[in-house]
């Protein structure tokens, strides 16, 4: 396999928008900052003497994160997954003072509904959504959960026609893809090389007219970048491929031996795994030691910023608002919206 040269970036901020857990009492930790209760918007609550309370972030089964990549004057916002409910993503974005209109590119880690449903809320907020969406071709597969002793439950399957009809520009890639002039990598299908990461027992796919075991969920992919002087950053969704498989694959693709700060999503993927996958999860950290993981944060909504030569703490303002784009980045984004073809140019897919 040909090695991919990934161009380093100056900084990455990962803002968790949807996760299984949110905890308003957690303090800032390492490079991660949490939204303060006093910084969140207020919502009317007539049973309180003051008549209102903080409009708390909502947790839901699923995942979504906003990845802001800074390189020189350029700032790009990538939505990675969209959560499980139609309005959970956009509602939490509103609470965090983030605008759906600022999303430049969407990458969906895999086809499970708890990573896709929030696309509906985005369209409700954006009107017509002329945003590129990167997925693996197996994203559209019909799936169900068939656990022993329980009735099988079919999972909602995304409609390609509906997504395209809403304006999304679908890009299907089985192989690794570059974004942003070669500085952001979408892994595509991950090689499964460990003996203990055997996938999701009881997970089935409807293929050639019949339900068949589908433990591997081959459409599962991760987002990867290198922060100059800090090393690789890997962001996963469910991480069905297995976090050790993913990291091994990324190292093989990039031939990177640098230390690897792990996103919270990588670790929460372990927490979110089904009971039947527990042995896999408990063995993974032992293998992961060889990768020099650094867990950046865990639990709840958070913003994690890694930047070259900067203090580890986020530069987020005291109000809890994200720092705004530079005028140049805004102009670039506006121009890209006027000329969708130019957005497509950012998605230069390269097959190793
Ligand atoms: Zn999943």
pLDDT in tens, 102-140: 999 999 999 999 999 999 999 999 998 889 999 999 999
In a domain, 344, yes or no: no
Q: How far is the CA of 237 from the centre of ligand 1 (A)?
A: 7
Confidence of residue 263 (pLDDT cuts 50, 70, 90): very low
Distance 240 CA to ligand 1 centre (A): 6
**What is the Å distance from ligand 1's center to 57 Cα?**
22
pLDDT digits (tens, 9 = 90+) for 290-343: 455 555 554 455 666 666 644 333 322 222 233 333 333 444 344 334 333 223
pLDDT for position 256: 67
Question: Ligand 1 centre and the CA of 41: distance in Å?
Answer: 31
Q: From the CA of 241, how far away is ligand 1's center (Å)?
A: 10
How far does the centroid of ligand 1 lie from the alpha carbon of residue 239, in Å?
7
Query: What percent of the chain is modeled with pLDDT above 90?
Result: 58
For residue 318, how far is its CA from the centre of ligand 1 (angstroms)?
A: 35
Model confidence at 48, in pLDDT bands (50, 70, 90)?
very high
Whether 53 is covered by a domain: the verdict is yes
CA of 132 from ligand 1 middle (Å) equals 21
Gap from CA of 111 to ligand 1 centroid (Å): 7
E-strand stretches of the chain: 11-18, 32-33, 42-44, 52-54, 64-71, 74-80, 105-107, 132-135, 143-145, 153-154, 169-172, 177-179, 184-186, 203-207, 210-213, 223-227, 231-235, 260-262, 293-295, 303-307
- Distances from the Cα of 81 to the Cαs of 63, 93, 274, in angstroms? 6, 13, 20
Largest CA distance in the chain: 65
Q: Which of 331, 338, 323 is nearest to 70 (CA)?
A: 323
Asked if residue 205 belongs to a domain, the reply is: yes
Distance 238 CA to ligand 1 centre (A): 5
> What burial class does residue 334 get, using C-beta atoms within 10 Å of its C-beta: 0-12 exposed, 13-18 middle, 19+ buried?
exposed
Residue 1 is assigned to a structural domain of this protein: no
Asked if residue 181 belongs to a domain, the reply is yes
Q: From the CA of 89, how far away is ligand 1's center (Å)? A: 17
Spacing, Cα 217 to ligand 1 middle (Å): 8
Determine the distance separating the centroid of ligand 1 and the alpha carbon of 210, expressed in angstroms: 21
What pLDDT does residue 307 have?
A: 65
Q: Which residue segment(s) compose the domain that 320 sits in?
A: 11-337
Residue 342 lies in a domain: no
Distance from Cα 85 to the centre of ligand 1, integer Å: 15
Cα-to-centroid distance, 22 and ligand 1 (Å):
19
- Cα 316 to ligand 1 centroid, rounded to whole Å: 31
CA-atom Rg of the chain in angstroms: 20
Among the listed ranges 92-96, 229-233, 253-257, 291-295, which one has the minimum average pLDDT value? 291-295
Q: Ligand 1 centre from 297 Cα, in Å?
A: 21
In a domain, 350, yes or no: no
Higher pLDDT among residues 319 and 239, named by residue: 239
Reading the block at residue 298, the tokens are 């865990």
CA of 288 from ligand 1 middle (Å) equals: 21
How far away, in angstroms, is 112 Cα from ligand 1 center?
5
CATH classification of the domain holding 52: 3.60.15.10
Is pLDDT above 70 for 149? yes
Prediction pTM value:
0.79
How many structural domains comprise the chain?
1
In a domain, 6, yes or no: no
């Amino acid at each position: 396999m040909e090695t991919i040269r990934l161009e380093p970036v100056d900084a990455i901020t990962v803002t968790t928008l949807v996760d299984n857990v949110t905890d308003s009492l957690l303090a800032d930790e390492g490079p991660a900052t949490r939204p303060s209760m006093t910084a969140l918007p207020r919502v009317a609550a007539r049973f309180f003497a003051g008549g209102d309370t903080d409009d708390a972030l909502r947790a839901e089964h699923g995942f979504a994160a906003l990845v802001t990549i800074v390189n020189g004057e350029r700032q790009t916002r990538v939505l990675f997954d969209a959560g499980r409910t139609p309005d959970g993503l956009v509602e939490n974005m509103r609470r965090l003072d983030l605008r759906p209109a600022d999303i430049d590119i969407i990458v969906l880690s895999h086809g499970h509904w708890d990573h896709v449903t929030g696309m509906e809320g985005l369209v409700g907020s954006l009107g017509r959504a002329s945003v590129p969406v990167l997925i693996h071709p197996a994203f559209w597969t019909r799936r169900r959960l068939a656990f022993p002793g329980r009735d099988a439950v079919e999972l909602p399957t995304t409609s390609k026609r509906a997504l395209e009809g809403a304006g999304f520009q679908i890009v299907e890639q089985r192989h690794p893809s570059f974004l942003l002039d070669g500085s952001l990598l979408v892994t595509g299908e991950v090689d499964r090389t460990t003996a203990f990461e055997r996938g999701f027992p009881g997970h089935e796919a409807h293929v050639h007219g019949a339900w068949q075991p589908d433990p591997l969920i081959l459409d599962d992919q991760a987002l990867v970048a290198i922060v100059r002087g800090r090393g690789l950053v890997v962001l996963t969704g469910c991480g069905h491929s297995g976090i050790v498989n993913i990291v091994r694959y990324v190292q093989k693709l990039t031939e990177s031996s640098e230390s690897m700060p792990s996103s919270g999503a990588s670790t929460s993927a372990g927490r979110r795994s089904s009971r039947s996958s527990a042995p896999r999860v408990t063995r993974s950290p032992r293998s992961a030691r060889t990768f020099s993981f650094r867990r950046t944060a865990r639990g709840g909504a958070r913003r994690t910023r890694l930047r070259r030569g900067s203090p580890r703490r986020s530069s987020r303002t005291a109000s809890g608002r994200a720092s705004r784009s530079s005028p140049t980045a805004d102009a670039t984004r506006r121009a890209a919206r006027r000329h969708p073809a130019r957005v497509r140019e950012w998605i230069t897919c390269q097959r190793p």
